[in-house]
Amino acid sequence: MPTIKLTQAAIERLKPPATGRVEYWDSQLPGFGLRIAAPRPGRSEKDARRTWQAFYRVKGDGTVIRETIGTAAVIPNVADARARARASIDAARQGINPIARRRDDLAMAQREAAQREIETLGAALDRYTTKLPTLGNGKRRTRPRRPEYVAEVKRCLERDVRDSDKVGADRPLRGISKKEISALLDEIAARAPSHANHVLSYFRAFMNWAVSEDLIDANPAAQISAPSPFVDRDRALDDDEIRLFWLGCDKIGEPFGPLFKLLLLTAQRRDELAHATWLEFDLDKAMWTLRGERTKNGKAHEVHLSPPAIELLSKLPKVGEKRYLFSTTGKTPVSGFGRARERLAAAMANIRRAEQGEAAETIEPFTLHDLRRSAATGMASIGIAHHVLDKILNHSSGKISGVGAIYNRFEYKPERNAALEAWARHIEGLVSPTTSNVVPIKSAG
């Protein structure tokens, strides 16, 4: 078994034996060699089989292994073959059997491939929703997603996708087709058009994640168009509708009546209030403080509580300091907003009919987010300046932009407090005009 310096030029000069085989071992890397077998009868020397090999002992158990690295036809460069041999020899020196490890890796890869073939929608959704708080577009997020957003996505995917008869939790993920997803979305759109668009957005993101995890090869939802037209909403309740809204909230009672009233009084987002806990409220200071992770723009936000808001909060049952303000279970935030809003709209319609008779106008449909728009519109109508409104709504930017937004860090807290109190008085005046002391605020800008 000759030992030589195995260079590219040297191996190209080596001749095969007339019969049998000969092995050349490398002087640079002991244990690395080239085996050359005699060509088959009738074949030329260039047809001789040349095979890279490694010879080593596994530390610990003493197993002696002669490993075939690959043929020169597959690995023509000696440096590449030497690198592969060195990796095996180094592993053996550390007590690792590289042959067994590769065999185990291959078996695991085969098991994973088989698992991917039968991966169910339900199992994949479980993993996805667990990772969702930190998932971003192709990379981990520097700031976790808002818990309210995560809860909403999970709720939609579980209720509208996992539990549907069009797709279902037990379906293999790879077997879900574009046609089935479209049928599912059409079914949702028939009862809730805009919600179908949300489900498509959430489901498409989930399937993109499944592609990134090699659970599927392509996203079947990628080319599906929105099932319903996107509507740029501008609905805001007028003064009479606000009056009916307030009276209707009294009819539907807790927990949604007080919750809806507070949405109108504070002009905050639905889930910010629905997921609020008592720890965020200081009734003595008339202040509601939201942490950055609870707001849409990631910025901490303080909301002044007007006297009517304080009164509503004071009447809520308080069970433990860490409990949610609004909950039907005592352990989780309130849900079922759609049905509650329908009950409220029906109560408003009944009040109007009682006042005006059967010829009374119907109540135009509205969403809970329209309450936020209604509050902003109403405050603007009584003279609240736009830059104060932007701070109340916790918008990232508004009338003050560019360099001005960078240097203007004033929070306008006195103006915000006065604005929310004026807005509360305005609502009180609509509900009980004889006791109103509404004083419109002149715009400061």
Reported as a pLDDT band with limits 50, 70 and 90, residue 293 is: confident
User: What is the arrangement of strands in the sheet containing 3-4, beginning at the earlier edge strand?
Assistant: 3-4, 21-26, 32-37, 50-57, 64-71
Reported as a pLDDT band with limits 50, 70 and 90, residue 320 is: low
In percent, how much of the chain has pLDDT > 90?
Answer: 52
Residue 404 pLDDT exceeds 60: no
Please state, as a whole number, how many other Cβ atoms lie within 10 Å of the Cβ of residue 418.
15
pLDDT at position 408 is 45
Among 223, 211, 134, smallest CA distance to 174 is for 211
In percent, how much of the chain has pLDDT > 70?
Answer: 89
Q: Using CA atoms, how far apart are residues 84 and 57, in angstroms rounded to an integer?
A: 16
Give the pLDDT mean for 377-405.
77
Q: Using CA atoms, how far apart are residues 297 and 395, in angstroms rounded to an integer?
A: 8
What domains appear along the chain, each with residue ranges and CATH number? Answer: 3-109 (3.30.160.390), 119-212 (1.10.150), 239-435 (1.10.443.10)
Between 288 and 167, where is the model more confident? Answer: 288
Reported as a pLDDT band with limits 50, 70 and 90, residue 226 is: confident
pLDDT at position 221 is 92
Average pLDDT, the chain: 86
Reported as a pLDDT band with limits 50, 70 and 90, residue 406 is: very low
Pairing of strands 21-26, 3-4: parallel
Give the pLDDT mean for 4-27.
92
Residue 35 pLDDT exceeds 70: yes
pLDDT at position 166 is 76
pLDDT at position 299 is 85
Residue 43 pLDDT exceeds 50: yes
Between 224 and 42, where is the model more confident? Answer: 224
pLDDT at position 436 is 47
Residue 162, both tokens: 């996992």
Residue 422, both tokens: 């004026």
Give pTM, 2 decimals. Answer: 0.57
Query: Which class for 429: exposed (0-12), middle (13-18), buried (19 or more C-beta within 10 A)?
Result: middle
Span 160-219, pLDDT tens digits: 888 887 787 888 888 889 999 999 999 988 888 888 888 999 999 999 999 998 888 899
Span 107-161, pLDDT tens digits: 887 776 666 556 888 888 988 988 888 886 545 566 777 777 888 888 889 888 8
Q: Using CA atoms, how far apart are residues 320 and 340, in angstroms rounded to an integer?
A: 25
